[in-house]
Structure 1
Amino acid sequence: MTYAADQPTGRPIRVGLIDDQALVRTGFRLVLDAEPGIDVVGEAADGRAALELVDTTEVDVLLMDVRMPGMDGIAATAELSARHPETRIIVLTTFDLDEYAFAAIRSGASGFLLKDVRPHELVTAIRTVHAGEAALSPRVTRRMLELFAEDLPGGPDAHSAAASVPSPLDVLTAREREILEAIAEGLNNTELAQRFFLSESTVKTHVGRVLQKLGARDRVQLVIIAYEHGMRPAVE
């Protein structure tokens, strides 16, 4: 999986660790405490405690287990996304294709990681979502959308039935629609720049405008919005 991560600049990224297994939290903390530009500012063992943590502590990125007793990571992610949209959430899972993790992504998470993630991948994913990117590979994007296909409008019948109804995508320029479709394939900024023969700074400008026009918090939401409104890009 490739991420477009920013180098650590300015104040540290404040990270919260949410997992009911103390050994998992300890392992992640050991990795992150050794990383410049990242501070672990709190831990919690369930979703309810995660809400209390973010209510009382400024957190930039949460590592959130999805399967916990009491309030699980899905419910906590949905609640946190509504109450603290500025906090990015990466869900943690034991399984590569975990429907619980995908449900958390639909609830507002910016990606997911396996619990046996390599240290450098963990750090890069945190920097990636903090920068507004998505920690999702094209394969994971495709699988996520396959799982939720029945719940998403925008299939052939729905698309034709809604043809006369204004779409939120109508506010986009032709280039912005191309950018959105490529984002829905899972492309990062570097790959967008290569596809459209643009500089990365120009790509960032286009992506920022698409996010603003569609009222999306990050690229994961853009993927879901694209599919909800009939855009079906081919994901390899």
Structure 2
Amino acid sequence: MDTIKVILADDHVIVRNGIKILLESEGEVEVIAEASNGQEAIEKVSQLKPDILISDIRMPIMNGLEATAELKKISPDTKTLILSMHDDEEYIIKSVECGASGYLLKDTTKEEFVKALRSILEGHKYFSGDISDVLVNGYLNKKPGSTSATDSGGTMVKTDYHITKREKQILQLVYEGHSNKEIADELGKSIRTVETHRFNIMKKLEVSNITELIRKIDSEPYIIG
């Protein structure tokens, strides 16, 4: 099999180094360039025309989703594999809409990583099992957002806050009084991942602190039901 030529885009040098060592130890992957932000990634893809751009989402100047969308204009034959710590439904669906050919979490195994690259190179889409579930559920349940209201009979209509399954798990644990560390240990995730989910949850529910969050759940218990 020909060598898979990739460019790595991540704003953390130590992460890029780890990924490079992991991939090149396989023998069939060559990291031909690295980038610390989306804009730099686009420039290097334009120059080098790699097979695949492996990109994080959250980067300065231009994020990974913006770079993915731009990629289709400057190098349509280059595929994008999103490699992220976020399993949030919004990020995953947005990556597909931007044209990504795959989405993996950063805790993936080397075997799955290489399998994803091979599959994408052959023209297929690749999403890990958990991510595939999120995609299916997200697209099946996708509908316009709404706000709290009452119907003509005065009955309260449930608001769709688009809370993901993972967010509901975390929200339940937060409601029960668990700390970020306890939640991270319970779910086998990093504290940073839990913090990111909590931020997204509070943004979706339009609350600014834990007190408001608890009140919101008390008034609308179906949120975690």
**Fold conserved between structures, TM > 0.5:** yes
1:61 aligns with 52
Q: How does 1:55-204 map to 2 (within 5 A)?
A: 55-136=46-127, 137=129, 138-146=132-140, 148-150=142-144
- Is structure 2 residue 36 aligned with structure 1 residue 40? no
Partner Cα distance (1:144, 1:24) in 2? 29
How far off is 1:121 after superposition?
Answer: 1.0
Report the Cα distance in structure 1 between the residues aligned to 2:94 and 2:24, rounded to whole angstroms: 30
For 1:210, the equivalent position in structure 2 comes to none
1:147 deviates by 6.9
Counterpart in the other structure of 1:171: none
Following superposition, the deviation at residue 149 of structure 1 comes to 4.2
Q: Is the CA contact (8 Å cut-off) linking 1:101 and 1:112 kept in structure 2?
A: yes
Q: Aligned equivalents of 2:44 and 2:110: distance in 1?
A: 24
Residues 39, 67 of structure 2: 8 Å contact kept: yes
Partner of 2:166: none
Higher mean C-alpha displacement, 99-108 vs 51-60: 99-108
Structure 1 unpaired stretches of 5+: 1-8, 152-236
Question: What per-residue deviation string (whole Å, max 9, x for no partner) do you get for residues 91-132 of structure 1?
Answer: 122122342232122111011011121111111111111111
- SS of the aligned residue for 2:126 comes to coil
The amino acid across from 1:141 in the alignment is L
Distance 1:114 1:149 in 2: 26
Residues 99, 147 of structure 1: 8 Å contact kept = no
Instruction: Please name the residue that 1:170 is paired with.
Output: none
Q: Give the aligned residue type for 2:28.
A: G
Secondary structure at 1:92 match in 2: strand
CA-to-aligned-CA distance 1:202-228 (integer Å, 9 cap, x gap): xxxxxxxxxxxxxxxxxxxxxxxxxxx
Cα distance between partner residues in 2 of 1:148 and 1:17: 32
Q: Is the 8 A contact 2:55 2:82 kept in 1?
A: yes
Shift of 1:23: 1.2
RCO higher in structure (CA 8 A, sep ≥6): 1
**d(CA) in 1 for partners of 2:11, 2:102:** 20
Runs of 4+ that moved beyond 3 A = 146-151
d(CA) in 1 for partners of 2:124, 2:34: 24
Question: Is the 8 Å Cα contact of residues 93 and 101 (structure 1) preserved in structure 2?
Answer: no
- The residue number in structure 1 matching 2:186 is none
Instruction: Look up the equivalent residue of 1:104 and give its one-letter code.
Output: S
Residue 150 of structure 1: how far off its partner (Å): 3.8
2:195 equivalent in structure 1:
none
